[in-house]
Structure 1
Protein backbone atom coordinates (compact mmCIF):
# COMPACT_ATOMS: atom_id res chain seq x y z
CA UNK A 1 0.00 0.00 0.00
CA UNK A 2 1.31 3.43 -0.98
CA UNK A 3 0.86 6.87 0.54
CA UNK A 4 -0.19 9.72 -1.74
CA UNK A 5 3.39 10.99 -1.78
CA UNK A 6 4.78 7.60 -2.77
CA UNK A 7 2.16 7.20 -5.47
CA UNK A 8 2.90 10.64 -6.89
CA UNK A 9 6.67 10.05 -6.93
CA UNK A 10 6.27 6.63 -8.51
CA UNK A 11 4.24 8.00 -11.42
CA UNK A 12 6.11 11.30 -11.70
CA UNK A 13 3.43 13.81 -10.74
CA UNK A 14 2.88 16.07 -7.75
CA UNK A 15 0.62 15.26 -4.84
CA UNK A 16 -1.39 18.34 -5.82
CA UNK A 17 -2.03 16.76 -9.24
CA UNK A 18 -3.26 13.57 -7.60
CA UNK A 19 -5.68 15.60 -5.47
CA UNK A 20 -6.92 17.42 -8.59
CA UNK A 21 -7.62 14.07 -10.22
CA UNK A 22 -9.55 13.06 -7.13
CA UNK A 23 -11.57 16.29 -7.19
CA UNK A 24 -12.44 15.86 -10.87
CA UNK A 25 -13.53 12.29 -10.42
CA UNK A 26 -10.71 10.81 -12.51
CA UNK A 27 -9.06 8.81 -9.75
CA UNK A 28 -11.19 7.21 -7.04
CA UNK A 29 -10.45 8.23 -3.47
CA UNK A 30 -8.92 5.27 -1.57
CA UNK A 31 -9.71 4.10 1.89
CA UNK A 32 -7.84 5.85 4.70
CA UNK A 33 -5.88 3.99 7.34
CA UNK A 34 -6.37 4.29 11.07
CA UNK A 35 -4.19 7.40 11.08
CA UNK A 36 -6.35 9.09 8.46
CA UNK A 37 -3.85 8.76 5.58
CA UNK A 38 -4.85 7.67 2.10
CA UNK A 39 -3.45 4.27 1.12
CA UNK A 40 -3.25 3.31 -2.54
CA UNK A 41 -3.15 -0.18 -4.03
CA UNK A 42 -1.43 -1.25 -7.28
CA UNK A 43 -4.49 -0.56 -9.41
CA UNK A 44 -4.26 3.14 -8.45
CA UNK A 45 -0.77 3.21 -9.96
CA UNK A 46 -2.03 1.74 -13.22
CA UNK A 47 -4.95 4.17 -13.36
CA UNK A 48 -2.77 7.20 -12.56
CA UNK A 49 -0.26 6.22 -15.27
CA UNK A 50 -3.16 5.99 -17.73
CA UNK A 51 -4.50 9.41 -16.76
CA UNK A 52 -1.08 11.00 -16.95
CA UNK A 53 -0.34 9.56 -20.41
CA UNK A 54 -3.66 10.82 -21.78
CA UNK A 55 -3.19 14.25 -20.19
CA UNK A 56 0.37 14.51 -21.56
CA UNK A 57 -1.06 13.73 -25.00
CA UNK A 58 -3.22 16.82 -24.72
CA UNK A 59 -6.50 15.11 -23.91
CA UNK A 60 -8.66 17.43 -21.74
CA UNK A 61 -9.35 16.11 -18.26
CA UNK A 62 -13.10 16.29 -18.88
CA UNK A 63 -12.70 13.97 -21.86
CA UNK A 64 -10.50 11.55 -19.90
CA UNK A 65 -13.28 11.22 -17.36
CA UNK A 66 -15.73 10.32 -20.15
CA UNK A 67 -13.56 7.57 -21.67
CA UNK A 68 -14.88 4.04 -21.38
CA UNK A 69 -13.60 1.83 -18.63
CA UNK A 70 -13.50 -1.45 -20.64
CA UNK A 71 -10.40 -2.29 -22.71
CA UNK A 72 -12.43 -2.17 -25.92
CA UNK A 73 -13.88 1.27 -25.20
CA UNK A 74 -10.49 2.60 -24.16
CA UNK A 75 -8.86 1.21 -27.31
CA UNK A 76 -11.38 3.00 -29.53
CA UNK A 77 -10.93 6.24 -27.63
CA UNK A 78 -7.14 6.03 -27.82
CA UNK A 79 -7.35 5.33 -31.55
CA UNK A 80 -9.35 8.54 -32.05
CA UNK A 81 -6.92 10.45 -29.85
CA UNK A 82 -4.03 9.09 -31.93
CA UNK A 83 -5.75 10.29 -35.11
CA UNK A 84 -6.25 13.74 -33.59
CA UNK A 85 -2.62 13.87 -32.49
CA UNK A 86 -1.42 12.94 -35.98
CA UNK A 87 -3.45 15.82 -37.43
CA UNK A 88 -2.10 18.22 -34.79
CA UNK A 89 1.48 17.13 -35.45
CA UNK A 90 1.02 17.71 -39.19
CA UNK A 91 -0.44 21.15 -38.54
CA UNK A 92 2.42 22.07 -36.20
CA UNK A 93 5.01 20.87 -38.72
CA UNK A 94 3.35 22.92 -41.46
CA UNK A 95 3.40 25.95 -39.18
CA UNK A 96 7.06 25.31 -38.36
CA UNK A 97 7.96 25.13 -42.06
CA UNK A 98 6.13 28.40 -42.74
CA UNK A 99 7.89 30.11 -39.85
CA UNK A 100 11.28 28.93 -41.08
CA UNK A 101 10.51 30.18 -44.59
CA UNK A 102 9.34 33.49 -43.18
CA UNK A 103 12.53 33.83 -41.12
CA UNK A 104 14.61 33.05 -44.22
CA UNK A 105 12.70 35.60 -46.30
CA UNK A 106 11.24 32.91 -48.55
CA UNK A 107 7.57 33.84 -48.00
CA UNK A 108 6.21 36.81 -49.91
CA UNK A 109 3.16 38.53 -48.49
CA UNK A 110 2.68 40.57 -51.65
CA UNK A 111 1.88 39.34 -55.18
CA UNK A 112 4.92 38.53 -57.31
CA UNK A 113 4.33 41.47 -59.67
CA UNK A 114 4.41 43.88 -56.72
CA UNK A 115 7.61 42.28 -55.42
CA UNK A 116 9.17 42.61 -58.89
CA UNK A 117 8.13 46.25 -58.98
CA UNK A 118 9.74 46.94 -55.59
CA UNK A 119 12.89 45.08 -56.60
CA UNK A 120 13.26 47.40 -59.60
CA UNK A 121 12.94 50.67 -57.68
CA UNK A 122 16.63 50.97 -56.65
CA UNK A 123 17.65 51.06 -60.31
CA UNK A 124 15.30 54.02 -60.80
CA UNK A 125 16.99 55.97 -58.02
CA UNK A 126 14.61 55.45 -55.10
CA UNK A 127 16.01 55.27 -51.58
CA UNK A 128 15.86 52.19 -49.35
CA UNK A 129 13.64 54.19 -46.99
CA UNK A 130 11.12 54.88 -49.76
CA UNK A 131 11.10 51.24 -50.90
CA UNK A 132 10.56 49.96 -47.36
CA UNK A 133 7.73 52.47 -46.93
CA UNK A 134 6.13 51.38 -50.20
CA UNK A 135 6.33 47.71 -49.19
CA UNK A 136 4.62 48.36 -45.86
CA UNK A 137 1.89 50.46 -47.42
CA UNK A 138 1.16 47.99 -50.22
CA UNK A 139 0.80 45.26 -47.60
CA UNK A 140 -1.85 47.38 -45.87
CA UNK A 141 -3.60 48.18 -49.16
CA UNK A 142 -3.76 44.52 -50.22
CA UNK A 143 -4.98 43.52 -46.75
CA UNK A 144 -7.67 46.21 -46.43
CA UNK A 145 -8.76 46.84 -50.03
CA UNK A 146 -8.11 43.60 -51.95
CA UNK A 147 -10.80 44.49 -54.48
CA UNK A 148 -9.00 47.74 -55.38
CA UNK A 149 -5.37 46.84 -54.72
CA UNK A 150 -4.52 45.49 -58.19
CA UNK A 151 -6.07 48.50 -59.91
CA UNK A 152 -4.19 50.92 -57.67
CA UNK A 153 -0.93 49.05 -58.13
CA UNK A 154 -1.22 48.92 -61.93
CA UNK A 155 -1.95 52.64 -61.95
CA UNK A 156 1.17 53.45 -59.97
CA UNK A 157 3.40 51.02 -61.86
CA UNK A 158 2.25 52.51 -65.17
CA UNK A 159 2.88 56.04 -63.91
CA UNK A 160 6.54 55.21 -63.29
CA UNK A 161 6.99 54.52 -66.98
CA UNK A 162 6.42 58.23 -67.63
CA UNK A 163 9.73 60.10 -67.04
CA UNK A 164 8.00 63.27 -65.81
CA UNK A 165 5.81 61.41 -63.33
CA UNK A 166 8.73 59.27 -62.20
CA UNK A 167 10.73 62.43 -61.49
CA UNK A 168 7.90 63.66 -59.28
CA UNK A 169 8.00 60.42 -57.30
CA UNK A 170 11.76 60.77 -56.92
CA UNK A 171 11.39 64.40 -55.84
CA UNK A 172 8.79 63.35 -53.24
CA UNK A 173 11.18 60.64 -52.02
CA UNK A 174 14.00 63.10 -51.47
CA UNK A 175 11.65 65.68 -49.93
CA UNK A 176 11.79 63.51 -46.82
CA UNK A 177 15.00 65.27 -45.74
CA UNK A 178 13.91 68.83 -46.57
CA UNK A 179 13.13 71.53 -44.04
CA UNK A 180 9.36 72.22 -43.90
CA UNK A 181 10.03 75.82 -44.91
CA UNK A 182 12.07 74.92 -47.97
CA UNK A 183 10.51 76.78 -50.95
CA UNK A 184 11.11 73.72 -53.13
CA UNK A 185 8.17 72.03 -51.36
CA UNK A 186 5.82 74.74 -52.61
CA UNK A 187 7.07 74.26 -56.16
CA UNK A 188 6.83 70.48 -55.86
CA UNK A 189 3.26 70.67 -54.53
CA UNK A 190 2.23 72.83 -57.50
CA UNK A 191 3.79 70.36 -59.93
CA UNK A 192 2.12 67.39 -58.25
CA UNK A 193 -1.31 69.02 -58.31
CA UNK A 194 -0.96 69.97 -61.98
CA UNK A 195 0.16 66.45 -62.92
CA UNK A 196 -2.70 64.89 -60.94
CA UNK A 197 -5.36 66.97 -62.65
CA UNK A 198 -3.84 66.29 -66.03
CA UNK A 199 -3.74 62.53 -65.37
CA UNK A 200 -7.01 61.96 -63.51
CA UNK A 201 -9.23 64.99 -63.83
CA UNK A 202 -10.81 65.27 -60.36
CA UNK A 203 -11.62 61.57 -59.73
CA UNK A 204 -8.53 59.32 -59.36
CA UNK A 205 -8.93 55.50 -59.30
CA UNK A 206 -10.25 54.24 -55.98
CA UNK A 207 -11.49 57.64 -54.85
CA UNK A 208 -14.76 56.06 -53.66
CA UNK A 209 -12.98 53.75 -51.20
CA UNK A 210 -13.33 54.07 -47.44
CA UNK A 211 -11.18 57.12 -46.53
CA UNK A 212 -10.16 55.73 -43.12
CA UNK A 213 -7.28 53.61 -44.44
CA UNK A 214 -5.91 56.28 -46.84
CA UNK A 215 -5.94 58.78 -43.98
CA UNK A 216 -4.11 56.31 -41.76
CA UNK A 217 -1.49 55.75 -44.44
CA UNK A 218 -0.96 59.46 -45.03
CA UNK A 219 -0.67 60.16 -41.30
CA UNK A 220 1.98 57.44 -41.10
CA UNK A 221 3.95 59.10 -43.88
CA UNK A 222 3.61 62.54 -42.34
CA UNK A 223 4.80 61.36 -38.95
CA UNK A 224 8.07 60.14 -40.45
CA UNK A 225 9.11 63.48 -41.93
CA UNK A 226 8.27 67.17 -41.36
CA UNK A 227 9.09 67.71 -45.02
CA UNK A 228 6.52 65.14 -46.14
CA UNK A 229 4.00 66.56 -43.70
CA UNK A 230 4.42 70.04 -45.17
CA UNK A 231 4.20 68.70 -48.72
CA UNK A 232 0.97 66.85 -47.90
CA UNK A 233 -0.52 69.97 -46.34
CA UNK A 234 0.30 72.03 -49.43
CA UNK A 235 -1.15 69.40 -51.77
CA UNK A 236 -4.34 69.11 -49.71
CA UNK A 237 -4.93 72.83 -49.83
CA UNK A 238 -4.39 73.10 -53.57
CA UNK A 239 -6.44 69.98 -54.33
CA UNK A 240 -9.35 71.27 -52.24
CA UNK A 241 -9.33 74.51 -54.18
CA UNK A 242 -9.94 72.66 -57.46
CA UNK A 243 -12.32 70.00 -56.06
CA UNK A 244 -9.91 67.10 -56.51
CA UNK A 245 -10.79 63.91 -54.58
CA UNK A 246 -7.79 63.07 -52.42
CA UNK A 247 -6.59 59.50 -52.14
CA UNK A 248 -3.42 58.04 -50.69
CA UNK A 249 -1.49 55.09 -52.00
CA UNK A 250 2.12 53.95 -51.66
CA UNK A 251 4.20 56.79 -52.92
CA UNK A 252 2.13 59.46 -51.22
CA UNK A 253 -0.78 61.44 -52.60
CA UNK A 254 -1.85 60.13 -55.96
CA UNK A 255 -0.74 63.19 -57.79
CA UNK A 256 2.53 62.05 -59.24
Structure 2
Protein backbone atom coordinates (compact mmCIF):
# COMPACT_ATOMS: atom_id res chain seq x y z
CA UNK A 1 0.00 0.00 0.00
CA UNK A 2 1.46 3.34 -1.01
CA UNK A 3 2.12 6.26 1.32
CA UNK A 4 -0.20 8.36 -0.87
CA UNK A 5 -3.08 5.94 -0.27
CA UNK A 6 -2.47 5.98 3.48
CA UNK A 7 -2.52 9.77 3.45
CA UNK A 8 -5.88 9.69 1.63
CA UNK A 9 -7.24 7.43 4.37
CA UNK A 10 -5.96 9.91 6.97
CA UNK A 11 -7.60 12.83 5.15
CA UNK A 12 -10.94 10.97 4.85
CA UNK A 13 -10.97 10.13 8.54
CA UNK A 14 -10.65 6.39 7.95
CA UNK A 15 -7.40 5.97 9.84
CA UNK A 16 -6.11 8.11 12.73
CA UNK A 17 -2.70 9.68 12.24
CA UNK A 18 -0.17 8.46 14.78
CA UNK A 19 2.13 10.98 16.43
CA UNK A 20 5.57 11.57 14.99
CA UNK A 21 8.67 10.63 16.91
CA UNK A 22 11.67 12.88 17.47
CA UNK A 23 12.98 12.02 14.02
CA UNK A 24 9.72 13.03 12.34
CA UNK A 25 8.56 9.53 11.50
CA UNK A 26 5.08 8.11 12.20
CA UNK A 27 4.99 4.72 13.82
CA UNK A 28 2.13 2.35 13.01
CA UNK A 29 1.26 -0.52 15.27
CA UNK A 30 -0.40 -3.88 14.68
CA UNK A 31 -3.90 -2.44 15.17
CA UNK A 32 -3.19 0.20 12.53
CA UNK A 33 -2.10 -2.52 10.11
CA UNK A 34 -5.33 -4.47 10.77
CA UNK A 35 -7.40 -1.34 10.15
CA UNK A 36 -5.54 -0.74 6.89
CA UNK A 37 -6.23 -4.29 5.72
CA UNK A 38 -9.95 -3.89 6.47
CA UNK A 39 -10.12 -0.56 4.66
CA UNK A 40 -8.28 -1.90 1.63
CA UNK A 41 -10.46 -5.03 1.40
CA UNK A 42 -13.66 -2.99 1.57
CA UNK A 43 -12.36 -0.46 -0.95
CA UNK A 44 -11.36 -3.24 -3.36
CA UNK A 45 -14.91 -4.61 -3.02
CA UNK A 46 -16.19 -1.31 -4.36
CA UNK A 47 -17.42 0.11 -1.05
CA UNK A 48 -17.28 3.93 -1.10
CA UNK A 49 -14.88 5.50 1.40
CA UNK A 50 -17.75 7.40 3.04
CA UNK A 51 -19.51 4.11 3.79
CA UNK A 52 -16.28 2.59 5.11
CA UNK A 53 -15.92 5.55 7.46
CA UNK A 54 -19.48 5.03 8.72
CA UNK A 55 -18.76 1.35 9.36
CA UNK A 56 -15.94 2.28 11.75
CA UNK A 57 -18.55 3.26 14.34
CA UNK A 58 -20.87 0.31 13.64
CA UNK A 59 -21.56 -2.38 16.21
CA UNK A 60 -20.40 -5.93 15.55
CA UNK A 61 -23.90 -6.94 14.43
CA UNK A 62 -24.20 -3.91 12.15
CA UNK A 63 -20.77 -4.60 10.67
CA UNK A 64 -21.62 -8.24 9.97
CA UNK A 65 -24.93 -7.21 8.35
CA UNK A 66 -23.06 -4.70 6.20
CA UNK A 67 -20.61 -7.39 5.11
CA UNK A 68 -23.49 -9.66 4.07
CA UNK A 69 -25.00 -6.86 2.02
CA UNK A 70 -21.65 -6.14 0.37
CA UNK A 71 -21.29 -9.84 -0.39
CA UNK A 72 -24.73 -9.88 -2.05
CA UNK A 73 -23.79 -6.83 -4.12
CA UNK A 74 -20.57 -8.51 -5.22
CA UNK A 75 -22.49 -11.64 -6.17
CA UNK A 76 -24.85 -9.59 -8.37
CA UNK A 77 -21.93 -7.77 -9.98
CA UNK A 78 -20.12 -11.04 -10.65
CA UNK A 79 -23.26 -12.50 -12.23
CA UNK A 80 -23.57 -9.46 -14.47
CA UNK A 81 -19.90 -9.60 -15.43
CA UNK A 82 -20.19 -13.28 -16.30
CA UNK A 83 -23.19 -12.55 -18.49
CA UNK A 84 -21.22 -9.78 -20.20
CA UNK A 85 -18.28 -12.14 -20.63
CA UNK A 86 -20.56 -14.73 -22.20
CA UNK A 87 -21.88 -12.19 -24.71
CA UNK A 88 -18.35 -11.11 -25.56
CA UNK A 89 -17.38 -14.72 -26.21
CA UNK A 90 -20.44 -15.17 -28.42
CA UNK A 91 -19.44 -12.05 -30.31
CA UNK A 92 -15.88 -13.37 -30.75
CA UNK A 93 -17.26 -16.69 -32.03
CA UNK A 94 -19.65 -14.95 -34.42
CA UNK A 95 -22.73 -16.26 -32.59
CA UNK A 96 -24.09 -13.07 -31.06
CA UNK A 97 -27.67 -13.51 -29.80
CA UNK A 98 -29.10 -9.98 -29.46
CA UNK A 99 -32.44 -11.18 -28.08
CA UNK A 100 -33.45 -13.43 -25.17
CA UNK A 101 -34.46 -16.98 -26.00
CA UNK A 102 -38.13 -16.36 -25.22
CA UNK A 103 -38.24 -13.51 -27.76
CA UNK A 104 -36.81 -15.84 -30.42
CA UNK A 105 -39.48 -18.40 -29.59
CA UNK A 106 -42.14 -15.69 -29.87
CA UNK A 107 -40.89 -14.72 -33.33
CA UNK A 108 -41.24 -18.37 -34.37
CA UNK A 109 -44.81 -18.31 -33.02
CA UNK A 110 -45.57 -15.27 -35.19
CA UNK A 111 -44.58 -17.20 -38.31
CA UNK A 112 -46.59 -20.22 -37.16
CA UNK A 113 -49.67 -18.03 -36.57
CA UNK A 114 -49.53 -16.79 -40.17
CA UNK A 115 -47.72 -13.46 -39.93
CA UNK A 116 -45.65 -12.66 -42.99
CA UNK A 117 -41.86 -12.86 -42.96
CA UNK A 118 -41.87 -9.08 -43.43
CA UNK A 119 -43.78 -8.64 -40.14
CA UNK A 120 -41.58 -11.14 -38.29
CA UNK A 121 -38.42 -9.38 -39.50
CA UNK A 122 -39.85 -6.02 -38.50
CA UNK A 123 -40.70 -7.32 -35.04
CA UNK A 124 -37.21 -8.79 -34.67
CA UNK A 125 -35.57 -5.49 -35.58
CA UNK A 126 -37.91 -3.61 -33.27
CA UNK A 127 -37.12 -5.80 -30.25
CA UNK A 128 -33.39 -5.61 -30.92
CA UNK A 129 -33.67 -1.83 -30.73
CA UNK A 130 -35.87 -1.95 -27.62
CA UNK A 131 -33.54 -4.30 -25.75
CA UNK A 132 -30.51 -2.24 -26.79
CA UNK A 133 -31.95 1.15 -25.78
CA UNK A 134 -34.22 0.22 -22.84
CA UNK A 135 -32.72 -2.91 -21.24
CA UNK A 136 -34.43 -2.21 -17.92
CA UNK A 137 -37.95 -2.12 -19.43
CA UNK A 138 -37.61 -4.26 -22.53
CA UNK A 139 -38.61 -7.61 -21.06
CA UNK A 140 -41.72 -6.08 -19.43
CA UNK A 141 -42.77 -4.52 -22.74
CA UNK A 142 -42.15 -7.80 -24.52
CA UNK A 143 -44.27 -9.80 -22.06
CA UNK A 144 -47.02 -7.21 -22.49
CA UNK A 145 -47.08 -7.64 -26.26
CA UNK A 146 -46.75 -11.41 -26.07
CA UNK A 147 -49.78 -11.51 -23.77
CA UNK A 148 -51.73 -9.35 -26.21
CA UNK A 149 -50.97 -11.58 -29.20
CA UNK A 150 -51.85 -14.69 -27.19
CA UNK A 151 -55.48 -13.53 -27.40
CA UNK A 152 -56.84 -15.02 -30.68
CA UNK A 153 -59.20 -12.11 -31.34
CA UNK A 154 -56.56 -9.43 -30.86
CA UNK A 155 -54.04 -11.50 -32.79
CA UNK A 156 -56.45 -11.62 -35.73
CA UNK A 157 -56.65 -7.83 -35.64
CA UNK A 158 -52.90 -7.61 -36.24
CA UNK A 159 -52.89 -10.42 -38.77
CA UNK A 160 -55.40 -8.41 -40.83
CA UNK A 161 -53.16 -5.37 -40.47
CA UNK A 162 -50.10 -7.34 -41.58
CA UNK A 163 -51.78 -8.88 -44.60
CA UNK A 164 -53.13 -5.50 -45.72
CA UNK A 165 -49.62 -4.24 -46.40
CA UNK A 166 -49.82 -4.74 -50.17
CA UNK A 167 -53.30 -3.27 -50.64
CA UNK A 168 -53.58 -0.11 -52.73
CA UNK A 169 -55.17 2.90 -51.10
CA UNK A 170 -58.17 2.76 -53.47
CA UNK A 171 -58.60 -1.00 -53.46
CA UNK A 172 -62.40 -1.57 -53.29
CA UNK A 173 -61.85 -4.98 -51.73
CA UNK A 174 -60.18 -3.40 -48.75
CA UNK A 175 -61.81 -4.45 -45.51
CA UNK A 176 -61.14 -2.94 -42.12
CA UNK A 177 -59.52 -5.21 -39.56
CA UNK A 178 -62.03 -7.09 -37.48
CA UNK A 179 -62.50 -5.83 -33.94
CA UNK A 180 -62.60 -8.28 -31.02
CA UNK A 181 -65.94 -8.72 -29.33
CA UNK A 182 -66.22 -6.10 -26.59
CA UNK A 183 -68.13 -8.62 -24.53
CA UNK A 184 -64.84 -10.39 -23.88
CA UNK A 185 -63.08 -9.95 -20.59
CA UNK A 186 -62.77 -6.13 -20.33
CA UNK A 187 -60.55 -6.33 -17.27
CA UNK A 188 -58.03 -8.38 -19.18
CA UNK A 189 -58.21 -6.34 -22.38
CA UNK A 190 -57.70 -3.00 -20.68
CA UNK A 191 -54.45 -4.13 -19.14
CA UNK A 192 -52.82 -4.89 -22.46
CA UNK A 193 -50.70 -2.82 -24.83
CA UNK A 194 -49.10 -3.68 -28.13
CA UNK A 195 -46.68 -2.38 -30.71
CA UNK A 196 -48.06 -1.08 -33.99
CA UNK A 197 -45.12 -0.46 -36.36
CA UNK A 198 -45.53 2.83 -38.20
CA UNK A 199 -42.36 2.99 -40.31
CA UNK A 200 -43.82 1.23 -43.31
CA UNK A 201 -47.14 3.11 -42.99
CA UNK A 202 -45.41 6.28 -44.12
CA UNK A 203 -44.33 4.58 -47.33
CA UNK A 204 -47.67 3.04 -48.28
CA UNK A 205 -51.04 4.87 -47.92
CA UNK A 206 -53.21 1.78 -47.42
CA UNK A 207 -51.30 0.43 -44.42
CA UNK A 208 -51.15 3.99 -43.11
CA UNK A 209 -54.94 4.19 -43.03
CA UNK A 210 -55.20 0.72 -41.54
CA UNK A 211 -52.59 1.58 -38.90
CA UNK A 212 -54.79 4.44 -37.72
CA UNK A 213 -57.84 2.17 -37.77
CA UNK A 214 -56.07 -0.56 -35.78
CA UNK A 215 -54.80 1.95 -33.24
CA UNK A 216 -58.28 3.45 -32.87
CA UNK A 217 -60.00 0.08 -32.48
CA UNK A 218 -57.34 -1.25 -30.13
CA UNK A 219 -57.81 1.82 -27.94
CA UNK A 220 -61.59 1.44 -28.09
CA UNK A 221 -61.44 -2.23 -27.11
CA UNK A 222 -58.73 -2.08 -24.46
CA UNK A 223 -59.14 1.43 -23.14
CA UNK A 224 -55.40 2.02 -23.72
CA UNK A 225 -53.40 3.48 -26.62
CA UNK A 226 -51.33 1.11 -28.69
CA UNK A 227 -47.63 1.52 -28.16
CA UNK A 228 -46.33 3.31 -31.24
CA UNK A 229 -49.52 5.26 -31.97
CA UNK A 230 -49.35 9.04 -32.21
CA UNK A 231 -51.17 9.59 -28.94
CA UNK A 232 -48.96 7.20 -26.95
CA UNK A 233 -45.85 8.72 -28.55
CA UNK A 234 -46.82 12.17 -27.30
CA UNK A 235 -47.77 10.83 -23.88
**Structure 2 partner of 1:40:** 26
**Among 90, 93, 110, the residue aligned to 2:75:** 90
1:191 counterpart = 2:174: yes
**Greater helix share, structure number:** 1
Q: 1:117: how far off?
A: 1.2
**Among 131, 147, 150, the residue aligned to 1:150:** 147
User: What whole-Å deviation, never above 9, does each CA across 1:32-62 have from its counterpart, x for those lacking one?
Assistant: 4679x6x221314554334223322344322
Q: 1:67: how far off?
A: 5.0
**Unmatched segments (≥5 aa) in structure 2:** 91-95, 131-136, 220-225, 230-235
Change (3 A) 1:205 1:22: same
**Structure 2 partner of 1:246:** 217
8 Å Cα contact 1:27-1:48 kept in structure 2 = yes
1:65 counterpart = 2:40: no
**Unmatched segments (≥5 aa) in structure 1:** 1-10, 176-183
Give runs of aligned pairs for residues 109-188 of structure 1, distance below 5 A.
109-110=102-103, 114-120=106-112, 126-127=116-117, 129-135=118-124, 136=126, 143=140, 150-155=147-152, 159=156, 169-172=162-165, 174=166, 184-187=168-171
Paired residues in the alignment total 199
**Structure 1 partner of 2:202:** 226
The TM-score, its normalising length taken from structure 2, stands at 0.53
- Residue 247 of structure 1 aligns to a residue whose secondary structure is helix
8 Å Cα contact 1:22-1:29 kept in structure 2 = yes
Provide the alpha-carbon RMSD of the alignment.
Answer: 5.2
User: What whole-Å deviation, never above 9, does each CA across 1:106-158 have from its counterpart, x for those lacking one?
Assistant: 8335495x34413537xx5823x421323547x89983596786354332686
Give runs of aligned pairs for residues 4-43 of structure 1, distance below 5 A.
11-12=1-2, 15=4, 17-32=5-20, 39-43=25-29
- Residue 101 of structure 2 aligns to a residue whose secondary structure is coil
- Residue 37 of structure 2 aligns to a residue whose secondary structure is helix
Q: Which is greater in Rg? A: 1
8 Å Cα contact 2:18-2:26 kept in structure 1 = yes
Q: What is the alpha-carbon distance in structure 1 between the residues aligned to residue 17 and residue 36 of structure 2?
A: 12
